[in-house]
Amino acid sequence: MINPAKRTKSIELSQVRKMFEITNPDAINLGIGEPDFDVPENIKQAMKDSIDDNETHYTPNKGYIELREEIVKKFKNDNGIKTNTDNIIVTVGASEALFMCAQAFIDKGDEVILPNPSFLSYEACINLAGGTIVPVDCKMENEFKLKADDVAEKITKDTKAIMLNSPSNPTGAVMEKEDIKAIADLSNDNDILVISDEIYEKIIYNKKHYSPGKYSDNVITLNGFSKAYAMTGLRIGYLNANETFNEELLKIHQYNSACASSTSQRGAYAALSGPQDEVTKMVAEFEKRRDLIVSRLNEMGYETVNAEGAFYVFPKIEDKDFVTKAAKAGVITVPGEAFGSNGIGHVRMSYANSYENIEKAMNILEERVVNG
Ligand code: PMP
């Protein structure tokens, strides 16, 4: 018998993916983690042109220089982060960037402070690298926002990294500027790495996004095109890391993927250098849906935070059978416990589905689950 490596055995396949596999095709899917919009036309055209121009060869390991120049501009304009093209690595989605951070920096025994609840991949990547997870509570009474004081309490001599994700998957919480800054200060004072996953940065409502990378050089900033430009299947993301960090990250990237797809990189260039009105339209539509889903859930008696970002809500639903009952009635959701112990008693619902479908889904829940 050929056994898999112990590290692989120690982790599980994603519960979110499993939910989709059992999905009835007619069910309304509020489990999904990707925008339901199409890729904007200018991006599609750039990718078609790149194929016609035979740009189908390897690119530099760190990505096309023109794209990295646009990313440098983006970091300066949107995030107040001063960087240069050498510090940027274009990756196969933010997923690869995350994996690279864990492989390049986390050793067995290193502690990683991880928001609870948080995106499933964080735990898996830290476990695969042999790190120890130190959960820090994101409490509903704080609207699930991670607080710097709670992070500070978790720091020990073994703390290697702090994982941040604002706006958050699964709660939609957007951290406050003072907490972001205080965590950046903690990283400077204690020589701790901050891995800041900012993939939902653009999907934010009446609130400003702040990057810890503006305040500390110990921060690796992760971002990508999956959410803001609906480019999930094109697998394209990027990171910014200082010169010393960058070299270690590049080793993992070189041997893992060599470079991100040339075609997707051309699309990403068009995304950053072209008009941003499609992003604005998409965010306005998400905001309407957020308002709808939050008010309907609250009316049903499920306490729901009016989340300020991403496209998820995380209502308090104590009925353990809710997810199964909802699925049987035709609405797919994800059990909150998939995202950590603080997710117990909550359900993640994504509103990356049409307004009409969300309305229908809420009617089904009201008629067949709450009153059923
Ligand atoms: N981070 C978070 C918080 C996510 O929700 C996701 C996608 N669900 C990713 C990273 C991965 O994004 P990508 O498609 O760029 O790999």
CA distance readout (Å), 98 to 37, 146, 246, 264, 280: 25, 19, 13, 19, 27
Q: Is 309 in the pocket of ligand 1 (CB under 6 A)?
A: no
Residue 201 falls inside a structural domain:
yes
Which of 219, 210, 158 minimizes the C-alpha distance to 188? 219
Assigned token pair, 58: 């390897």
Same domain for 281 and 248: no
Question: Helix-strand-coil percent breakdown of the chain, rounded to 5?
Answer: 45, 15, 40
- Identify the CATH number of the domain in which residue 289 sits: 3.90.1150.10
Could you read off the pLDDT of 278-308 as tens digits, one per residue? Answer: 999 999 999 999 999 999 999 999 999 999 9
Which of 273, 302, 318 corresponds to the end of one domain? 273
Same domain for 312 and 259: no
Looking at the 3D structure of the chain, how many domains does it have? 2
d(CA 264, CA 235): 7
Q: Is 232 in the pocket of ligand 1 (CB under 6 A)?
A: yes
Q: Which residue has the tokens 């394209």?
A: 236
- Probe ligand 1: pick from 90, 164, 227, max atoms within 8 Å of CB? 227
β 193-197/219-224 pair status: parallel
With 80 as the cut, is the pLDDT of residue 240 above it?
yes
- CA 118 to ligand 1: nearest atom: 3
Could you read off the pLDDT of 178-228 as tens digits, one per residue? Answer: 999 999 999 999 999 999 999 999 999 999 999 999 999 999 999 999 999
With 90 as the cut, is the pLDDT of residue 18 above it?
no
Same domain for 351 and 260: no
Q: Which of 26-30, 157-161, 281-285 has the lowest mean pLDDT?
A: 26-30
Going from the Cα of 224 to the center of ligand 1, the distance in angstroms, rounded, reads: 8
pLDDT band, residue 371 (cuts 50/70/90): confident
DSSP-derived 3-state class of residue 10: coil
Mean pLDDT of the chain: 96
Determine the average pLDDT of the residues in 326-331.
Answer: 94
Same domain for 265 and 233: yes
Residue 289 falls inside a structural domain:
yes
Q: Is 91 in the pocket of ligand 1 (CB under 6 A)?
A: no
| pLDDT reported for residue 93 | 98
- CA 225 to ligand 1: nearest atom: 15
Determine the average pLDDT of the residues in 249-271.
Answer: 98
Same domain for 17 and 51: no
Kindly state the percentage of the chain with pLDDT values over 70. 98
Going from the Cα of 301 to the center of ligand 1, the distance in angstroms, rounded, reads: 31
Q: Is 228 in the pocket of ligand 1 (CB under 6 A)?
A: no
| pLDDT reported for residue 14 | 78
pLDDT band, residue 26 (cuts 50/70/90): confident
Neighbouring CB atoms inside 10 A of 178's CB total 11
Q: Is 35 in the pocket of ligand 1 (CB under 6 A)?
A: no
| pLDDT reported for residue 122 | 98
| pLDDT reported for residue 22 | 58
| pLDDT reported for residue 24 | 72
Q: Is 224 in the pocket of ligand 1 (CB under 6 A)?
A: yes
Q: Is 252 in the pocket of ligand 1 (CB under 6 A)?
A: no
Same domain for 359 and 218: no
Contact 129, 103 (CB under 8 A): yes
Q: Is 118 in the pocket of ligand 1 (CB under 6 A)?
A: no
Q: Is 99 in the pocket of ligand 1 (CB under 6 A)?
A: no
Nearest CA to ligand 1 atom 7: 33
With 90 as the cut, is the pLDDT of residue 10 above it?
no
Q: Is 336 in the pocket of ligand 1 (CB under 6 A)?
A: no
- Probe ligand 1: pick from 36, 169, 261, 314, max atoms within 8 Å of CB? 169
Q: Is 237 in the pocket of ligand 1 (CB under 6 A)?
A: yes
Spatial strand order of the sheet with 111-116 comes to 88-91, 237-240, 219-224, 193-197, 159-165, 111-116, 132-137
Q: What is the dihedral of CA 127, 129, 132, 133, to 10 degrees?
A: -50
Assigned token pair, 283: 């965010």
Q: Is 261 in the pocket of ligand 1 (CB under 6 A)?
A: no
| pLDDT reported for residue 20 | 61
pLDDT band, residue 15 (cuts 50/70/90): low
pLDDT band, residue 275 (cuts 50/70/90): very high
Could you read off the pLDDT of 62-111 as tens digits, one per residue? Answer: 999 999 999 999 999 999 999 999 999 999 999 999 999 999 999 999 99
β 111-116/159-165 pair status: parallel
Which range of residues forms the domain containing residue 267? 41-273
Which of 273, 303, 323 corresponds to the end of one domain? 273
Residue 1 falls inside a structural domain:
no
Determine the average pLDDT of the residues in 28-54.
Answer: 96
With 90 as the cut, is the pLDDT of residue 25 above it?
no
- Identify the CATH number of the domain in which residue 263 sits: 3.40.640.10
Q: Which of 26-30, 87-91, 238-242, 256-260 has the lowest mean pLDDT?
A: 26-30
β 159-165/193-197 pair status: parallel
Nearest CA to ligand 1 atom 12: 94
